[in-house]
Amino acid sequence: MNKTELEAAVDTRRTFAIISHPDAGKTTITEQMLLFGGVVRQAGTVKARKSGSFAKSDWMEIEKKRGISVTSSVMQFDYDGKRINILDTPGHEDFSEDTYRTLMAVDSAIMVIDSAKGIEPQTKKLFQICKMRGIPIFTFMNKLDRDGREPLDLLNELEEVLGIETYPMNWPMGMGKGLKGLYDRYNHRVELYHNEAHGETFLPLDKDGKLDSSNELTKDSIYRDTLEEMELIEEAGNEFDEAKVASGDMTPVFFGSALTNFGVETFLKTYLQYAPKPSAHKTREDEIVQPTDEQFSGFVFKIQANMNPNHRDRIAFVRICSGEFDRGMDVFLQRTGKKMRLNNSTQFMADTRETVETAVAGDIVGLYDTGNFQIGDTIYAGKHAVQFEKLPQFTPELFMRVTAKNVMKQKSFHKGIEQLVQEGAVQLYTSYSTGDYILGAVGQLQFEVFKFRMLNEYNSEVVMEPLGNKTARWIDPEQLDEKMSSSRNLLVKDRAGAPLFLFENAFAERWFADKYPDVKLTAKL
């Protein structure tokens, strides 16, 4: 690829994640998008796969035929002249630090909210990471085919709880059984509600934002209510500000129903008009790496261990930051300076063989790994060494005390912990008073993977004692007095030796703040 071809290819890339609380409809909306992209032909395939009701062999057959895997961590497809990479952010019991780190590898995010429930805890957590990165966030208020909360109430909640300005791109005309359609102020039309089989119908609005008076709908009270609400929003709502959308300070809000495929395509099309192209990345030397720079570079944001004991290999997920990736190319691993040939690479969801061979900035490639990579590693080709900024560490919420089952096997126990912690699988703390090892994670899965890998890769059986949910707060070492620690606020140090308390609950934290009003405690991300 020459420079012009590279620029053209990068220009088409849109890389994003869908963030949501479990059950808000992420799988359903993803599936609709894959349908538009022609990647799956039948609604229900992803869902069926998720619930296990889809015969495995059929599924594998589809994967083989299409060369895709809809359940993998990255889904790639072409739509409307764009090449889209959707990165999965697992929820439920699969929630882990990897989920957070995945957000380091995207250029924007779609936030799916169940309109009957509003903002739920996991959405909030993921939102905060996106906000910290200053990436654009687009909101899809889902399940309009069911009775939900008042749209204005939902917008208020977004503004108040998340601290982001909102701009409704469309407005529901009724909901649940009374759902008539969407008043689409952005495209200046009404999108009538039908179920999937009938397809959608668009009615144009006149210059005053009204439907032709001959239309039956104009006699419906829902139509009049909608016009009133629109008027209110025009007057009292925010003005659309593209710069604020780009900086993540304003979220365009779309209403719809993923299940009945209502408003989803309109959403996707409009979203793609604003979704950013692959962004530039900063190195630790404060250099800016542009996606269209010809020298290949990327960073590892996730390592997925193979849970099958017969296959020790893992997959390192690399976000390409610049240039072109070619299978078989030589790259340097910045941390060790080691040169390696990337033969064993895989690009997910590519629907033709050729695209597996090359990828460009914005794309994600999976590299089969036998232990070379760590999370946050930079790889690059060419002479100019690059090292991207450190990935942030996330404050764990779940904790476990861990010991080796067999005291005679301390060596492999320590080696395993050292390596897995370095790799970013879990976080490690040591108790001030006893020197015990305490593991921290954001999701239970991290502990399970840890235990499994300790046994299978390091031959070390571990005993884990759950300490439950805790709030981690760092304290300035100057202010620390070991007597401040109690059974409700365990004093530990992190890997860098910095002291922190693990508070049992909010009550314990308040009690501490009352007792030591001058002590400043800080939360990390």
Q: Per the annotation, where are the binding residues for GTP?
A: 20-27, 88-92, 142-145
Of 81 and 121, the one with the shorter C-beta distance to ligand G4P is: 121
**Which of these, 167, 195, 174, 172, lies nearest to 182 by C-alpha position?**
172
What's the min distance (Å) between Cβ of 265 and ligand G4P? Answer: 14
Using the rule CB under 6 A, is 200 a contact of ligand G4P? no
Is residue 416 a contact residue for ligand G4P (CB under 6 A)? no
Q: Which two tokens stand for residue 504?
A: 């049992």
Pair of tokens at residue 406 = 């067999």
- Mutual orientation of helices 444-458 and 410-423 as an angle, nearest 10°? 130
> Dmax over Cα atoms in the chain, in whole Å?
86
Nearer to ligand G4P, 16 or 373 (CB): 16
- Output the CA torsion sign for 469, 474, 479, 480: positive
Among 13, 15, 20, 297, binds ligand G4P (CB under 6 A): 20
Q: CA 142 to CA 114: how far, in whole Å?
A: 5
Which residue's entry shows tokens 């304290």?
475
Task: Tell which positions 116-145 bind ligand G4P, by CB under 6 A.
Answer: 142-143, 145
The mark string for 220-259 relative to ligand G4P (x by CB under 6 A, - otherwise) is: -------------------------------------xxx
**Part in contact with ligand G4P (CB under 6 A); list of ranges 17-25, 98-106, 371-379, 453-461:** 17-25
Nearest-approach distance from CB 173 to ligand G4P, in angstroms: 16
Residue 94 Cβ vs ligand G4P, minimum distance, rounded to whole Å: 11
Q: Which two tokens stand for residue 34?
A: 């894959």
C-alpha span between 491 and 431 (Å, rounded)? 6
Min dist CB 127 to ligand G4P, Å, is 15
- Within 8 A by CB and 6+ apart from 505, the residues are 469, 471, 488
Minimum CB separation of residue 246 from ligand G4P in Å reads 26
Residue number with CB closer to ligand G4P (256 or 291): 256
| Total of chain residues touching ligand G4P, rule CB under 6 A | 16
- The Cα 118–Cα 109 span in angstroms is 17
> Which residue lies nearer to ligand G4P by CB, 386 or 442?
442
Q: What is the contact mask toward ligand G4P in residues 39 to 58, using x (rule: CB under 6 A)?
A: --------x-----------
Closer residue to ligand G4P in complex, CB, 9/18: 18
Torsion of CA 434, 440, 446, 447, to 10 degrees: 30
Beta bridge partners of 84: 14, 77
CA gap 322, 31 in Å, rounded = 29
Closer to ligand G4P by CB, 182 or 462: give it. 182
- Residue 31 or residue 457: which is nearer to ligand G4P going by CB? 31
**Member of 66, 117, 146, 277 binding ligand G4P (CB under 6 A):** 146
Q: Is 28 in the site for ligand G4P (CB under 6 A)?
A: yes
413: which residues sit within 8 A by CB, 6+ positions away?
A: 404, 454, 458, 460, 462
CA nearest neighbour of 520 among 475, 485, 487: 475
In the complex, minimum distance from the CB of residue 177 to ligand G4P, in angstroms, rounded to a whole number:
12
User: Toward ligand G4P, which CB reaches closer, 29 or 318?
Assistant: 29
Assigned token pair, 329: 């190319």
Instruction: Decide: 30 and 258 in contact? Cβ < 8 Å.
Output: no
Interacting residues toward ligand G4P by CB under 6 A: 20, 22-28, 47, 142-143, 145-146, 257-259
